[in-house]
Amino acid sequence: MRVELPPEPTYFVDRDEQRERAFRAVREWRGRSRPLVMTLSGPGGMGKTELAHLIARVERERFPDGVLTVDLDDFRLGGVLDPGDVLAQLLESLDVEPQLVAAQFKARCRQYWNKTSGAKLILVLDNARYASEIVPLLPASGESLVIVTSHGPLHDLEDGAAVGMTLPPLEEWAATELLGLIVQDPRLAADPEAVRTLVRLCDGLPAALHAAGRWVRVHRLRPLSRLIPDLRSELEEKGLPDVERVWDTVYDGLSHPARLLYRLLPHHPGATFTVTSATALLGLGQEPCQDALEELHGAGLLDLRSLTGTGDGRMRLPGPLHGHALRRSHRDTQEGEVGQAQTRLLRWIVRQAQRADRFVAGRRLIVSEEYPTVPGAPDVSLEDPQEAADDAARTERAEAASRWLYEERHTLLAAVRLAHERELDAEVVALSEPLWTYALDHPHQSDVIGAFRLAVSSAVRHGGNAAWLVRTRCQLARPLWEAGRFNDAVGELDSAEAVLGFLGDSARDRKLGASLIEFRGMLNGVRGDWQGAALEFARSRDMNLAIPNPYGVMLQTYRLGEATAALRELEAAYRLLSEAHATAVELGRERMTRRTGFALAGVLRDLGRTDEARPLYEQSLQAARRRGSGFDQARIHDAMAELADADGQFTEAEGHRAASRAIRQRNGLDDE
């Protein structure tokens, strides 16, 4: 059972009425055609998320298929949510392979419904803004529970919500109890009037009580009879709302590094950050940043409970504290401070993305300079597969880098937007290249098109680098044609070709020209024009031969072999794919060895040379099993079923089809 819940809060008081209503609703729910939906609404800092997690934690034994949590703010770019992106995350949480996530939104919805049909699971959706964001994410099971938090009521969802609750501020007795748990100091019992004053200053807001309680705990020698009046006097001088004044007072008591980090965190691209990215943002080194994070946590301005043992966990500033930190930034930040911090962080992100890209895809053609280490900001803990001792370790390291690209995708996409806004064109183009590798493994993500458009825009705005213009337009063309926008893709490739004459005669520039011709061939193939595809791949192959570029020759030989096979020129396809496969083995290119071997086996099968095809398919299947790739296993089983049919081995063929069908069903795909 997958349980995506953070550690329990150290202190939680009251909300008895809301908890009882929630538990009663679960007990009385009879599993209709739609899940039980609970909505928890109220201002930021009211404790909605912690209550949602508490309900899920208490009730999870009733829902044996797991607890999934999604903060919808993590998926917003420019304030806009893409439900398809959220569905992809949920499907992967339900053990669907990234490559088997359906491409189109409607198909992805069906896949999600297939995976959740009859399931008994809890889904926590945090920070919803509109009911329309929630509806596509509802599991297709009346035996599931969905808990939604939002700042305001979701009116359009009310008819389908069995329980809708608005959280009020804590009553005075509950706020006093929470303050006592946080402070744990006999001074509170000795001076109830001072405690009452402090509680009222916090307006019953749990987030403010945490900050105020930790502030009192820091000043352990001063009696409350002095401490609270001094605090109240200071707060009244600032003329701010009571809760805001509490946070201001806590903030003013921080060290310089902690205050600086607090002011900078709202300017971090993406909704969440890590210890290492915060270190790059602060720019004072690793230990000062760790100390600052711990100080913010101790002051109640940050929650470090989400951190993992390795220190790579994700953190966020909760909504109201994010707003307060942003206001303090506007008031206190020195000229250029935010810009310098963002530039430093963006260059650190570029470096980490370039490292992950290289570890996933190997050394390949790139048009950006490799970014150096950022002083005082450590690299993320990724290891180079080429330095591994064996194949298993190499695969594990490459997969770790691929996971990093996926987990950081929202930060990478937000970093592209931020770099473009700050006119850091080199950083935009540099970030687009690792995003290309991410997009190959996770196709049909709508935000990728937007990021590649910004890369093209930066290349055009810069105007002085023809290589950027060629590369970024080619990168944009592929997701466009994957989305069925063929004319737009042709336009991008035409624009790329228009600047080919401005490239130099270096090996890199000549490789770029050959790459553009390859893209034209791929687009022709997608459109079914295999004759045109073959002509372009042959041209690109000749260009790579002239450079010379052995890897490019091998790749274009493979593509030309596939196009020739599609044209049913099987003997020619056999010769081409045999050559490509042998070269891939010689060059030690594992991924291309698998691809060329699979394609060669298909041609051998069509030529009736099944005895030669069978071992290639079996090698491909074994490699797919080692990698745990159900996507590859399914297509290899389908091919082996056709091979068995050709040999008259009908029982074996049905076994392969059953294996392929089981993989698709396990991943929630409809039978084809």
| Interval 442-487: pLDDT, tens | 766 668 899 999 999 999 999 999 999 999 999 999 999 988 899 9
Contact 289, 278 (CB under 8 A): yes
Least-confidence region, from 304-318, 348-362, 535-549: 304-318
Q: What is the pTM of this model?
A: 0.80
- Tens of pLDDT, residue by residue over 72-117, are 888 887 778 888 889 988 998 898 888 888 878 888 899 999 999 9
Note whether 60 and 132 are same-domain residues: yes
10 falls within a domain: no
Same domain for 292 and 379, yes or no, is no
**For position 247, what pLDDT does the model report?**
80
Query: Same domain for 36 and 132?
Result: yes
- For residue 197, name the pLDDT band (cuts at 50, 70, 90): confident
Domain boundary among 209, 225, 252: 252
Give residue 158's pLDDT: 54
- Measuring CA to CA, which residue among 22, 81, 83 is closest to residue 48? 22
Q: Are 166 and 17 in contact (CB under 8 A)?
A: no
Question: Are 144 and 61 part of one and the same domain?
Answer: yes
Lowest-confidence region among 21-35, 59-73, 224-238, 645-659? 224-238
User: Could you read off the pLDDT of 385-402 as tens digits, one per residue?
Assistant: 989 888 788 888 988 998
CATH number at residue 117: 3.40.50.300
C-alpha to C-alpha distance for 359 and 367, rounded to whole angstroms? 17
> Lowest-pLDDT range, 351-360, 362-371, 623-632?
623-632
pLDDT at 241 over 80: no
Report d(CA 502, CA 483) in Å as an integer.
30
Task: Check residues 392 and 352 and name the one with the higher pLDDT.
Answer: 352
Cα–Cα dist 310/276, whole Å: 11
Judge whether residue 561 has pLDDT over 50: yes
Task: Indicate the range of 156-165, 313-322, 603-612 predicted with least confidence.
Answer: 156-165
Is there a single domain that holds both residue 261 and residue 248? no
| DSSP per-residue string spanning 579-646 | HHHHHHHHHT-HHHHHHHHHHHHHHHHHTT-HHHHHHHHHHHHHHHHHHT-HHHHHHHHHHHHHHHHH
Give the lowest-confidence range in 21-35, 347-361, 477-491. Answer: 21-35
Three-state SS at 376? coil
Among 252, 278, 306, identify where a domain stops: 252
Give a yes or no: residue 672 inside a domain. no
Residue 403 placed within a domain: yes
How high does pLDDT run on average in the chain? Answer: 87
Residue 148, pLDDT above cutoff 80: yes
Domain of residue 356 covers 342-503
Closest residue by Cα to residue 235 from 202, 195, 188: 202
pLDDT over 90 percentage in the chain: 48
Looking at 237-246, 527-536, 595-604, which range is the least confident one?
237-246
Provide the pLDDT for residue 444. Answer: 62
Q: What was the pLDDT predicted at 563?
A: 97
pLDDT of 316 higher than 90: no
pLDDT single digits (tens) 248-296: 888 888 999 999 999 999 999 988 899 999 999 999 999 999 999 999 9
pLDDT of residue 279: 96
Can you give the pLDDT at residue 231? Answer: 58
Q: What is the mean pLDDT of residues 175-196?
A: 79
- Rounded Cα distance, 40 and 151, in Å: 8
Asked if residue 197 belongs to a domain, the reply is yes
Domain total of the chain: 4
Give me the count of residues in the chain: 672
Taking 60 as the threshold, does the pLDDT of residue 311 lie above it? no
How confident is the model over 344-367, as a mean pLDDT? Answer: 93
Over residues 347-369, the mean pLDDT reads: 93
pLDDT of residue 186: 79
Confidence at residue 672, expressed as pLDDT on a 0 to 100 scale: 53
* Side-chain half-sphere exposure of 124, counting CA atoms within 13 A: 24
Least-confidence region, from 17-26, 68-77, 621-630: 621-630
Q: Please report whether residue 370 resides in a domain.
A: yes
Quickly state the pLDDT bin for 32 (edges 50, 70, 90).
confident
More confident residue, 538 or 34: 538
Residue 312's pLDDT is what? 46
Domain boundary among 503, 518, 547: 503
Q: According to the model, what pLDDT value does residue 196 have?
A: 81
* Per-residue pLDDT tens over the stretch 525-558: 999 999 999 999 999 999 999 999 999 999 999 9
Average the pLDDT over each of 298-312, 581-595, 606-620, 657-671 and give the range with the smallest value: 298-312
Predicted local confidence at residue 453, as pLDDT: 96
For the segment 189-211, the average pLDDT, to the nearest whole number, is 77
Q: Is residue 202 part of a domain?
A: yes
Kindly report which listed range (116-130, 209-223, 447-461) carries the lowest average pLDDT score. Answer: 209-223
8-state DSSP, 35: -
Rounded distance between C-alpha atoms, residue 218 and residue 246, angstroms: 14
CATH code at position 221: 1.10.8
Pair (499, 444) in one structural domain: yes
Tally of CA atoms within 13 A in the half-sphere of 349 that contains its CB? 35
Give yes or no for residue 140 having a pLDDT over 50: yes
Question: Does pLDDT of 159 surpass 60?
Answer: no
Q: Which residue would you say has higher pLDDT here, 173 or 91?
A: 91
Q: Are 154 and 194 members of one domain?
A: no
In sequence order, the 6+-apart residues with CB closer than 8 A to the CB of 300 are: 182, 207, 210, 211, 212, 213, 214, 215, 250
Range in 171-175, 487-491, 558-562 with the lowest mean pLDDT: 171-175
Instruction: Judge if 370 and 494 occupy the same domain.
Output: yes
Q: Read off the pLDDT of residues 414-438 as tens digits, 9 standing for 90 and up.
A: 999 999 999 999 999 999 999 999 9
Q: Of 35-39, 229-233, 324-328, give the lowest mean pLDDT range.
A: 229-233
Whether 93 is covered by a domain: the verdict is yes
Among 208-217, 425-434, 464-473, 570-579, the range scoring the smallest mean pLDDT is 208-217
pLDDT at 310 over 70: no
Lowest average pLDDT, out of 282-286, 441-445, 507-511, 658-662, goes to 441-445
Same domain, 299 and 347: no
pLDDT the model gives residue 18: 86
Output the pLDDT for position 445. Answer: 66
Task: Please check whether residues 193 and 69 belong to one and the same domain.
Answer: no
- The predicted pLDDT at position 240 comes to 39
pLDDT score for 1: 58
Task: Identify whether 628 is part of a domain.
Answer: no
Q: How many whole angstroms separate alpha carbon 608 and alpha carbon 617?
A: 14
Instruction: Tell whether 499 and 358 lie within a shared domain.
Output: yes
Over residues 627-637, mean pLDDT: 85
Task: Kindly state whether residues 114 and 261 are assigned to the same domain.
Answer: no
